[in-house]
Amino acid sequence: MVLVVSCWALIKGENHNYREAYDHYLPKGHYPFNSINFRNLAPACHECNSTYKLGKDPAHNHSGRRKAFYPYAPIAQPINIKVDLLHSDIAKLTLADINMEFGPTAVNEQIETWKDIYGIEERYKAKLCTESDGKAWLTQVLDEWKELGRDPQEFLKSLELNARKRPFTDCNFIKKPFLDACYRKGLFDEPTPANPGSV
């Protein structure tokens, strides 16, 4: 099994004529002897490979050696994400208004490396602030509540099942923690004009 060590973005699969580039996980500039090692080539989306990672070294930083996830580990490491919002005005949500905690703590050093190499925290927070992702997810819950009478708790329960079984579908791995944070901030208490999707 391959752990997609980058952003968990859409990686082209077997039904595409073209595929994503392979990243030299250990940069060939630092490890030239590893440049033709197939176990050092990991699939990565263009943004991960060409915008964020570039020549960053997962095994070392300015402080010295560090732990990193291995792309070809026999068992993929699950990562937990908890989102907290500093306020409930989703229309004005910015990256600074979002706190994220990643786990489990047993692999904290690897997680910190992953976040550093691929700009994970910034990119996930940005996703939650966009009209087409985070705000749209909240709007979906509120619209289904208002127009279909579907209780938000029912929606979250269904999403929990989907996030557990299919974490990468519709970005469930980050969608569920975000909507949990919205729930804790009282955004599902009653629809108000300040909330997207409500009247």
pLDDT over 50 at 195, yes or no: no
Q: What angle do CA 182, 183, 187 make, to 5 degrees?
A: 70
Q: How far is CA 143 from CA 17, 90, 133, in A?
A: 38, 15, 15
State residue 192's pLDDT score. 46
DSSP secondary structure of 124-141: HHHHHHSTTTHHHHHHHH
Strands (E), the chain: 22-24, 41-43, 60-61, 64-65, 80-85, 98-103
pLDDT over 70 at 8, yes or no: no
State residue 86's pLDDT score. 97
pLDDT digits (tens, 9 = 90+) for 10-44: 455 566 676 777 889 999 999 999 888 999 988 88
Q: Provide the token pair at 117.
A: 């190499």
Q: Angle 120-129/134-148 helices, nearest 10 degrees?
A: 40
Measure the CA–CA gap between 178 and 100, rounded to whole angstroms: 10
State residue 168's pLDDT score. 84
* Banded model confidence at residue 45, pLDDT cuts 50, 70, 90: confident
State residue 197's pLDDT score. 45
pLDDT digits (tens, 9 = 90+) for 103-145: 999 999 999 999 999 999 999 999 999 999 999 999 988 888 8
173, 166 in Cβ contact below 8 A?
no
Measure the CA–CA gap between 108 and 130, rounded to whole angstroms: 28
Q: Provide the token pair at 15.
A: 């039904």
Across all residues in the chain, what is the average pLDDT?
85
Beta strands 41-43 and 80-85, pairing class: unpaired
Mean pLDDT of 164-175: 90
Measure the CA–CA gap between 156 and 191, rounded to whole angstroms: 16
pLDDT > 70: what percent of the chain?
A: 85
pLDDT over 70 at 9, yes or no: no
pLDDT digits (tens, 9 = 90+) for 52-97: 999 999 999 999 999 999 988 888 888 999 999 999 999 999 999 9
